[in-house]
Amino acid sequence: MATPKIVVLGAGYAGLMTVVGLQKKLNYNEADVTLVNQNDYHYITTLLHEPAAGTQPADHARIAIRDIIDEKKVKFIQDQVTAIKLDQKEVHLANNEPLSYDYLVVGLGSAPETFGIRGLLENALFIRNINSVRMINQHIEYMFSKYHNEGQRQDLITIVVGGAGFTGIEFVGELIDRMPELCRKYDIPREKVRLINIEAAPTVLPGFDPELVDYAVKYFESNGVEFRLSTPIEECTEDGVILKGGEEIKAATVVWTGGVRGNKLVEESGLETMRGRVKVDEFLRAPGHPEVFVLGDSSLVFNKENDRPYPPTAQIATQQGQNCAKNLVAAIRGGQMEPFVFDLKGTVASLGRKEAIGIVGKSKLFGRKAAIMKRIIELRWLYLLGGIPMVLRKGRHLI
Ligand code: FAD
Ligand code: NAD
């Protein structure tokens, strides 16, 4: 019998957990496993708000893929996936021949959801990957550097963050930490800088624990952050944003953190999607395609308790990758697959280096304790990728 071919697309949380699981569980030559990713590194999305604000170097948020995979068991192709051809069981790549598969794992992550808001794609910045966060940091610095050269225009030192979900909040928290140093560097009084977080819903972090939200809001406001709640952004221009009702806020930096949708390649493959995400079966497979597993931000898994989809997080993507690796091994060996059951361990959001909020199990955490918990969660990811050696190599700045 021919050796089964497994192709894994994307070296994010879901793709890497699949590959790491497969390389642990499979014997040599039991399957041909190929991982495709557009970069030769994995970026730790859950840390990207730090380099975006300039509080940590971008290199802290990335790991070389060759330091994670066992090349005797997994072939790595650095390339961009351009199409998934389900009928031909092929994946098309920008610079290599098409890859055929017996099993496909799609872990291509998400894209910004702009809800068709005019001018966002052209004028806003996005916390997406290493390149985009380097640009945000450089852009903010450049705008601050222009301040004294261009008539001390207020818009140059006004930063608008669109969306007060977890990404927006974590980014604003980092900006608070960054401001003293940035203001010193460009001789700008801190009180002149405006950090404005704009949210369509009536509250910051809609749906999250009110006591924790209150803690975050008070901490932010005491550090000069302005919130605009119940105020959707309706347009983004070269000069700033226009809010519902017509008010304009002039800002040279607009960072959009208003939500995500599945990777467009998934939609384009012909699979049925909701906001670009595939409603998968209990084994995380696409409907009508038992050979295709869709994981992470491109998948939609419903919480049976309230019949609502789980939010797309690294936590669920990681557990999906672990489940998928087990199930692929079972499929190859003719064993029984295990249904995916999400085990929500909690949610912790940083508000900067020393502040965070979170719920772990039944406990609410604030401040320093929560910040330590956030670091532990980040260290755990490194451990899952490469054990203690990876923690020691990449995790020092977290300790
Ligand atoms: P990703 O991790 O995004 O990986 C997708 C991979 O696919 C990437 O390597 C990408 O380069 C690659 N790729 C994409 N398109 C192509 C292509 N065409 N060809 C080749 N390769 C491609 N979640 C939490 O649970 N906890 C947190 O604390 C947390 N913090 C976050 C902080 C920020 C700032 C952000 C933005 C998100 C955060 N999240 C957090 C959400 C979490 O990061 C995502 O849910 C998670 O990354 C999804 O994992 P994934 O494997 O689906 O996709
Ligand atoms: P999100 O969808 O969770 O939040 C987006 C926010 O933008 C919402 O509050 C929404 O009301 C607001 N918004 C939408 N349109 C708007 C408009 N026109 N004007 C103003 N505000 C608008 O998106 P996210 O924060 O990017 O998070 C994406 C996913 O990643 C989520 O599942 C989240 O849980 C996860 N995440 C988790 C963490 C963590 O656990 N620490 C951190 C970051 C992200």
Query: Which domains, ranges and CATH numbers included, belong to the chain?
Result: 5-38+79-112+260-344 (3.50.50.100), 120-256 (3.50.50.60)
Given ligand 1 and candidates 7, 42, 46, 69, which is best to mutate, with the most ligand atoms within 8 Å of its CB?
46
CA distance 311 to 305: 14
Nearest alpha carbon, ligand 1 atom 15: 108
| Residue 198 alpha carbon, nearest atom of ligand 2 | 20
Burial profile 302-337: b = 16 or more Cβ within 10 angstroms, e = fewer: eeeeeeeeeebbbbbbbbbbbbbbbbbbebbeeeeb
Given ligand 1 and candidates 7, 49, 108, which is best to mutate, with the most ligand atoms within 8 Å of its CB?
108
CA distance 382 to 268: 33
Calculate how far, in angstroms, residue 166's C-alpha sits from the geometric centre of ligand 2: 5
Q: Quickly list DSSP for 91-107.
A: EEESSS--EE-SEEEE-
Q: What is this model's ipTM?
A: 0.98
Of 297, 327, 293, 339, nearest to 314 (Cα)?
297
Calculate how far, in angstroms, residue 8's C-alpha sits from the geometric centre of ligand 2: 27
Q: Are 38 and 92 in contact (CB under 8 A)?
A: no
SS3 of 246, please? coil
Which residue is listed with tokens 């940083």?
350
Ligand 2 in contact with 104 (CB < 6 A)?
Answer: no
CB atoms inside a 10 Å sphere around CB 207: 10
Ligand 2 in contact with 349 (CB < 6 A)?
Answer: yes
Sign of CA dihedral 128, 132, 138, 139: negative
CA distance 153 to 143: 10
User: In a structure prediction context, what are the per-residue pLDDT tens digits for the chain, which is 399 residues long?
Assistant: 689 999 999 999 999 999 999 999 999 889 999 999 999 999 999 999 999 999 999 999 999 999 999 999 999 999 999 999 999 999 999 999 999 999 999 999 999 999 999 999 999 999 999 999 999 999 999 999 999 999 999 999 999 999 999 999 999 999 999 999 999 999 999 999 999 999 999 999 999 999 999 999 999 999 999 999 999 999 999 999 999 999 999 999 999 999 999 999 999 999 999 999 999 999 999 999 999 999 999 999 999 999 999 999 999 999 999 999 999 999 999 999 999 999 999 999 999 999 999 999 999 999 999 999 999 999 999 999 999 999 999 998 887
Calculate how far, in angstroms, residue 268's C-alpha sits from the geometric centre of ligand 2: 24
- List the alpha helices (DSSP H) in the chain: 13-25, 49-53, 120-123, 130-146, 166-185, 210-221, 264-268, 314-333, 367-394
Ligand 2 in contact with 201 (CB < 6 A)?
Answer: yes
User: What are the Cα distances from residue 137, in Å, to 49, 142, 159, 284, 366?
Assistant: 10, 9, 12, 37, 28
Q: Which residues contact 138 (CB under 8 A, 6 or more apart)?
A: none
- The burial of 108, by beta-carbon neighbours within 10 Å (0-12 exposed, 13-18 middle, 19 or more buried), is given as buried
- The burial of 369, by beta-carbon neighbours within 10 Å (0-12 exposed, 13-18 middle, 19 or more buried), is given as middle
Catalytic residues, which ones?
A: 170
CA distance 155 to 223: 19
